[in-house]
Structure 1
């Protein structure tokens, strides 16, 4: 487990770079699509990988939004979501249109980025294999993920999903395994959300990060040592 724990800390910024870079590259086309409809980004654009597959339980949404105001007033006013009888948040037809566009826009931007790198890098050729590896991690992580991760996984993938769409969708969901681990770590230390946000670098902050890595690590145990290196190197080599 020590190997997986160290690995969880190493791969976190790599996953974040690949996913956030793809989202940023897609932002202009997403803004244009929303502006045409007089709408603003909401939870459907942040959690599309899960909410396209199933309603999001109230507990999962509260955890996912714990660092912000957690206000869904705009989404309700825009007709993007409705609340089911059990308190779960479900996309409307409008919300589903937005979430589907977001997924394809991010995948399209990612594919453009990954195809534009130097020919000496594998680029798009590596994406199917990377998507498969991340898919295995997602499946294995269901045993240890918290409320938000379980709401995101299994992810929604259309029948015609490209390798790029599968990879960005799966990476988006995988980030929530660590997010759940981080929330569990600072809560176990007796901290509030305000305290963890204000906590400076130092031994206490490092202890939270170490515990986060320990809780995040089991998802990667399904991969062999070689496969973990393959995933880390392959994601790290993607342009963007």
Structure 2
């Protein structure tokens, strides 16, 4: 359980910094078409690979205002027989966005302000470990993790592009654990969002860690250190500030 708690902010830092680094270019990509990023960009790595069940996507969006009809309005996604699909226009723009995220990952993670930082060597070291975690998650993941894996991995994709998509998927294992934890505690979305630090919050986080921990049993102790150290060593855009 301790490892699940320790690695969570490391994974989140890598994911959030990548999204932040790509945000301006992705928004410009949409603006040139008179659009703004929507539902399709939140789960593009899954939608490019396969349709996503409506119920799972609703659970994924539980913390934000979500109107399915409004999500469909721009014409990039549509609901067919209980599943979300990309339209032809949606697939075209998300493929371009995927290339933006891939290029951003390569730019961020290749930066080595110190010789001690491994740069892209860290990406290559952790990539197969993350894939093994995704395989292990088939037995331990919740409904959103199941719905949003596997992810789109085009032929010839760089290790950075692959890691970006796989980390996106891995985060859903913990997200499912968190939803299960506060749901079992009898809380609503509004209540968990308003819950202040204290014993109740700590109990929910502990239960989240317990439910998230089994996925990491796919790695031995040394491999868990490689994963933690490798992800922790990836640059997060400080070179741009």
| TM-score for both structures, normalised by structure 1 | 0.95
1:45 deviation in Å? Answer: 0.8
1:233 deviation in Å? Answer: 0.5
Equivalent residue in structure 2 for 1:90, among 85, 90, 96: 85
1:73 deviation in Å? Answer: 3.0
After superposing the two structures, state which structure 1 stretch, 109-118 or 19-28, moved more: 109-118
CA contact (8 A) 1:52 1:96 kept: yes
Number of residues of Structure 1 aligned to a counterpart in Structure 2: 235
Equivalent residue in structure 2 for 1:174, among 170, 182, 207: 170
CA contact (8 A) 1:139 1:154 kept: no
1:190 matched residue in structure 2: 186
Mark the runs of 5 or more structure 2 residues left unpaired by the alignment: 237-241
Q: CA RMSD in A?
A: 1.0
| TM-score for both structures, normalised by structure 2 | 0.95
Q: 2:70 and 2:102 mapped to 1: Cα distance?
A: 26
Aligned pair 1:123/2:119, yes or no? Answer: yes
Q: 2:97 and 2:70 mapped to 1: Cα distance?
A: 18
CA contact (8 A) 1:44 1:98 kept: no
Q: 2:110 and 2:165 mapped to 1: Cα distance?
A: 18
Aligned pair 1:206/2:199, yes or no? Answer: no
Equivalent residue in structure 1 for 2:27, among 17, 20, 31: 31
Moved over 3 A (4+): none
CA contact (8 A) 2:137 2:215 kept: yes
